[in-house]
């Protein structure tokens, strides 16, 4: 699986993470999903309802609105973005939620060193996937 993002998406996410650091920033990713790649077409930034440095939650209403909007435009839900004031690796809490969400993509940005990484759970195992910024 390859995750394709536009430079402007990355800039938007980095800006949001910088603004709310050390609180975790979060966003929803929508676009086109195939077996081989996920192409991000829209990034919807949302406030972290928990205002936490170790976990995040998006308000359900915000979720529904974003899904409805994306659906109208024929965009698929690709996955979730959040930042860590730590390395860009899934935490134990993330692992728990990754299991619940199934095979969606998790994009994580370190708000301390700026590194970006994406993960996907496949057959119960979390794997890092390739990111292409174009």
- Residue 110 CB coordination number (10 Å): 17
Of the candidates 33, 94, 117, 118, which one interacts with Zn ion according to CB under 5 A? 94
- Tell me what percent of the chain is helix, strand and coil, each rounded to the nearest 5: 30, 40, 35
Is 53 one of the binding residues for Zn ion (CB under 5 A)? no
Select from 12-20, 60-68, 87-95, 115-123 the region that touches Zn ion (CB under 5 A). 87-95
Q: With CA atoms as reference, report the closest residue to 94 among 60, 57, 124, 55.
A: 55
Minimum gap (Å) between residue 10 Cβ and Zn ion: 18
Report d(CA 46, CA 43) in Å as an integer.
Answer: 10
- Residue 75 CB coordination number (10 Å): 20
Is 111 one of the binding residues for Zn ion (CB under 5 A)? no
Is 88 one of the binding residues for Zn ion (CB under 5 A)? no
Tokens of 49: 């309802």
Is 91 one of the binding residues for Zn ion (CB under 5 A)? yes
Tokens of 76: 């698929």
Residue 31 vs 111, nearer CB to Zn ion: 111
Is 24 a residue of the active site? yes
Select from 8-16, 27-35, 65-73, 92-100 the region that touches Zn ion (CB under 5 A). 92-100
Q: Which of the residues are catalytic?
A: 24
**Interface contacts to Zn ion, rule CB under 5 A:** 91, 94
């Amino acid at each position: 699986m390859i995750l394709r993002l536009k430079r402007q998406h990355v800039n938007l996410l980095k800006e949001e993470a910088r603004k709310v650091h050390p609180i975790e920033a979060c966003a929803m990713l929508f676009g086109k999903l195939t077996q081989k790649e996920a192409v991000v077409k829209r990034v919807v930034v949302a406030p972290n309802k928990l205002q936490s440095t170790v976990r995040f939650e998006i308000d359900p209403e915000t979720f529904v609105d974003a899904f409805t909007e994306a659906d109208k435009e024929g965009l698929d839900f690709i996955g979730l973005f959040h930042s860590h004031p730590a390395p860009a690796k899934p935490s134990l809490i993330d692992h728990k939620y990754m299991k619940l969400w199934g095979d969606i993509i998790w994009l994580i940005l370190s708000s301390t060193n700026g590194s970006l990484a994406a993960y996907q759970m496949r057959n119960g195992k979390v794997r890092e996937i390739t990111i292409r910024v174009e």
